[in-house]
């Protein structure tokens, strides 16, 4: 049972609710154009490092004929995904040793996973399990635009808390997070070097702006709440990660501040007081063929 990612790095709500927005049906046509998959075919798709399952859920909606399998090493994510995204085969499994026969899939796909796994193994395993002519899709987050509403600005107590935490935080080294980052040029080159053909690149721009008139009230509140879950789970993970350095009371104070700030932002939204805070996520999609 492995729960390293969900306990110490990003919680299930952080990943699930942010990705539900990033892979909302509003953005379906952008992604589908970049994926370039054949429509109406019973494709066998494997998602690698699926986390709590939001992308797998989107693939299930966007390619209803496809058979989707999604794996992750983290058992808590797999349990969460099974509960929230029906119609998909979710499995615990390791990307460095995929539990599938050679030539099992038409498509492999991953989102924000490639930077954590040694490229030779990550792409080598995908080449092995893909059928000849199969498609490998690698999605990775790029520099976007992030502007917070004034009411969400960090307060002095929060600044002090995070400054204190920072000095004990060795998460990245301890768990080899982001050990293999690649630039927009290095990533397609890596696929090419590992033996993929017809490699291409593309970018999806995902504009998450609650005050935008095209955004429904439910979606706007989901955008605000997703950031709230992220902030709350970040505090909770500190308590698990360095229990001797911070107290439960200190963490509770931080969580109360977060809830109060996000309640204020929701109230502003409900009163129609526009803040124009925004998250524009840029997702790079690299596509290669076996």
Ligand X SMILES: C[S@@+](CC[C@H](N)C(=O)[O-])C[C@H]1O[C@@H](n2cnc3c(N)ncnc32)[C@H](O)[C@@H]1O
Q: How far is the CB of 96 from ligand X (least distance, A)?
A: 5
Please list, residue by residue across 205-241, b when 16 or more beta carbons sit within 10 angstroms of its beta carbon and e when fewer do.
ebebbbbeeebeeebbbbbbbbbbbbbbbbbbbbbeb
Measured from the CB atom, the residue of 71 and 235 that comes closer to ligand X is: 71
* Residue nearer to ligand X on the CB measure, 118 or 273: 118
Give 49 or 210: the residue with its C-beta nearer to ligand X: 49
The binding site for ligand X (CB under 6 A) comprises 5, 15, 19, 49-51, 54-55, 72-74, 77, 94-96, 111-113, 116-117
C-alpha span between 126 and 144 (Å, rounded):
28
Count of other CB atoms within 10 angstroms of residue 165 = 18
**Judged by CB, which is closer to ligand X: 92, or 289?**
92
Q: Which residue, 13 or 116, is less far from ligand X as judged by CB? A: 116
**Smallest distance from ligand X to CB 30, Å:** 16
State residue 183 phi and psi, 5-degree precision: -75, 175
Q: Are 115 and 142 in contact (CB under 8 A)?
A: no
- Nearest distance from residue 73's CB to ligand X, in Å? 4
Find out whether 193 and 27 touch, Cβ atoms under 8 Å: no
Q: Which residue is nearest to ligand X (CB)?
A: 51
Nearest in space to 85 (alpha carbons), one of 119, 114, 47: 47
Residue 258 has which token pair? 């977060």
Q: How far is the CB of 110 from ligand X (least distance, A)?
A: 6
Is the CB of 58 or the CB of 254 nearer to ligand X?
Answer: 58
The angle, 0 to 180 degrees and rounded to 10, between the axes of the packed helices 248-270 and 156-166 is 130
- Least Cβ distance, residue 2 to ligand X (angstroms): 8
Residue 155: CB minimum distance to ligand X, A: 28
Residue placing its CB nearer to ligand X in the complex, 59 or 232? 59
Nearer to ligand X, 37 or 81 (CB): 81
- Give least dist CB 65 to ligand X, A: 23
Shortest CB 189 distance to ligand X, Å: 22
């Amino acid at each position: 049972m492995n729960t390293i990612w969900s306990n110490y790095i990003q919680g299930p709500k952080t990943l699930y609710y942010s990705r539900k927005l990033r892979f909302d049906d509003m953005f379906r046509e952008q992604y589908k154009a970049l994926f370039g998959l054949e429509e109406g075919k019973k494709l066998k798709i494997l998602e690698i490092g699926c986390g709590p399952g939001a992308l797998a859920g989107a693939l299930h909606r966007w390619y209803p004929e496809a058979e989707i399998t999604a794996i992750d090493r983290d058992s808590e994510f797999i349990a969460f995904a099974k509960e929230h995204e029906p119609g998909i085969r979710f499995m615990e499994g390791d990307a460095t040793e995929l539990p599938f026969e050679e030539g099992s899939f038409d498509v492999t796909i991953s989102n924000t996973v490639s930077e954590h796994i040694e490229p030779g193994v990550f792409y080598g395993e995908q080449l092995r399990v893909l059928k000849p002519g199969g498609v490998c899709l690698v999605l990775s987050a790029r520099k976007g635009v992030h502007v917070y509403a004034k009411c969400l600005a960090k307060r002095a107590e929060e600044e002090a808390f995070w400054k204190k935490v920072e000095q004990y935080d060795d998460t990245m080294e301890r768990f080899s997070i982001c050990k293999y980052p690649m630039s927009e040029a290095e990533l397609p080159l890596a696929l090419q070097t590992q033996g993929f053909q017809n490699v291409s690149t593309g970018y999806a721009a995902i504009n998450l702006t609650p005050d935008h008139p095209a955004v429904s009230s439910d979606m706007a509140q989901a955008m605000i709440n997703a950031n709230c879950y992220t902030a709350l789970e970040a505090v909770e993970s500190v308590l698990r990660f360095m229990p001797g350095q911070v107290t439960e009371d200190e963490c509770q104070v931080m969580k109360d501040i977060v809830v109060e700030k996000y309640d204020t932002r929701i109230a502003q939204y409900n009163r129609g007081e526009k803040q124009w805070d925004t998250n524009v996520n840029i997702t790079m999609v690299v596509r290669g063929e076996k």
